[in-house]
Amino acid sequence: MFPDMEKVKAIKLDKEMKVSELVERMKDAGFGARKIGRASEIVEKMFDDKECKVFFGLAGAMVPAGMKQIVIDLINEKRIDVLVTTGANLTHDLIEALGEAHWHCDEWDDEEFHEKGYDRMYNVLMKNEVYPMLEDFFEKNWSEFEECDTIRSFLKHVEKLLPKNSNSILKACVENDVQLYCPALADSGIGLMIWGRKAAGKEIFIDAFEDMKEIIDFSWTAKKAGVIYIGGGTPKNFIQQSLQFSKGADYGVQVTQDVEVGGGSSGAPLEEGKSWGKLKKDANFVDVRCDATIAMPLIFS
C-alpha cells in the first residue's frame, strides 16, 4: 500500500467554488470528506462503465426530506437501471405528485402537532389531510388497478393516473424504463390504500414474490454490476440478495448512519458482502457514514 501513498491536502474554500470542485478537494482530505470524494469518483466510474448495470437502493423517507429531485435527475439522465425503494418514499412521492407538500419544523411538540393534524418525520411535517386525498385518488380510480397482479404493475398503473406534468420518481422510472421495485409496499401509505379497498370488499390479488424473477434475472445476466445504497432496510437487502446470483458487484457506494456493530444488514459495511459473494474481491467501493441528505447532493453533484 505504500508506493502510492498520497498526501492529505487541506481544503481551501473560496466563495466561487463549485460543488463539484469541493467534492474533488474533499478527496484530498481525510476521514469522511475523503469518502465523499471517493464515493463521487466511484459513482462516476460506474455510470461511465457501459457494461455496468446500476442498482440503486433508496431507503427511508428521502422524498419528504427534499432528495426527490436528485433521484429523478439520475433517472432522467439514464444513470440507473434498477431502483428499489420503500413504500414510504413512493407514498410521499405520490403525495407531492398529487399537489401536496411537506413542511419544515425546527422545534416540535408532538401533542400539538397531533391536534393540529400534522404528522412528524424528524424535522419535516406532513398534513394528515393527505390521507383523504390518497383515499379519493385510489377510490375513484380503483377499477384501473383490478387487473394488477404484481407490485411493479400496480405501481405502473399508479403512474398512469398522475397529473400530466407531475414531477415524480415514479413517473421518471416509467418514462425511462427504469425497473422499480418496492418489496415492502404493504408497509406504507400506499399499502394502506390497498388494504382499505380490500377491507371494503374490493378484489385485488397482488403477488408478493413475482417481482423477484425480473430483478434476479437482471442481476444474473449483468456483465457488471454497481450498487448505490442510500440507507439500508429492505431496499439495500433486496438488491444484496439479488446480487448473490450475480458475479458480485464491481462498484459500490453506500451512504448510511446505521452502525456496523449492530449486526444488521442496514449498517453492514459493503466489505462484508464479499463473504456472501455480493461484492467482487477486487471491487471499487466505499462506505460513507453520513446523513444522506448531506451526502447525496455532494456525491451526485
Please, are residues 250 and 225 in contact by the beta-carbon 8 Å criterion?
yes
Query: Rule CB under 8 A: is residue 124 a binding residue for a second copy?
Result: yes
Q: Which CB atom, from 105 or from 161, has the smaller least distance to a second copy?
A: 105
List binders of a second copy among 89-118 (CB under 8 A).
101-114, 116, 118
Residues in 9-48 at the binding interface with a second copy, rule: CB under 8 A: 9-13, 15-20, 22, 25-26, 28-36, 38
Category of 173 on φ-ψ map: left (φ > 0), alpha (ψ -120 to 50) or beta? alpha
Separation between Cα atoms, residue 254 and residue 287, nearest integer Å: 5
Query: Would you count residue 57 as binding a second copy (CB under 8 A)?
Result: no
Q: What's the min distance (Å) between Cβ of 174 and a second copy?
A: 19
From candidates 234, 243, 249, 251, binder to a second copy by CB under 8 A: 234
Which residues make beta-bridge pairs with 252?
227, 285
Q: Rounded to the nearest whole angstrom, what is the least distance from the CB of residue 52 to a second copy in the complex?
A: 21
Question: Residues in contact with a second copy, total (CB under 8 A)?
Answer: 129
Q: Is 172 in the site for a second copy (CB under 8 A)?
A: no
Stretch of residues binding a second copy (CB under 8 A), selected from 43-51, 138-146, 209-217, 221-229: 209-217
- 210 contributes a contact to a second copy by CB under 8 A: yes
Residue 136 near a second copy by CB under 8 A: no
Residues 256-285 that bind a second copy (CB under 8 A): 257-268, 271-277, 281
With 0-12 CB in 10 A as exposed, 13-18 as middle and 19+ as buried, what is 159? buried
The distance of closest approach from Cβ of residue 136 to a second copy in the complex, given in angstroms and rounded to an integer, is 18
Q: Any contact of residue 294 with a second copy (CB under 8 A)?
A: yes
C-alpha cell, 102: 411537506
**Is 161 or 289 the residue whose CB approaches a second copy more closely?**
289
Spatial contact of 59 and 230, defined as CB atoms under 8 Å apart:
yes
Q: Could you say which of 24, 41, 49, 119 contacts a second copy (CB under 8 A)?
A: 119
Euclidean distance between CA atoms 125 and 135, whole angstroms: 19
What residues act catalytically?
278
SS3 state of residue 28: helix
Cell of residue 5, nine digits: 501513498
- Encode burial over 200-231: b for 16+ CB neighbours within 10 A, e otherwise: eeeeeebeeeebeeebbebbeebebbbbbbbb
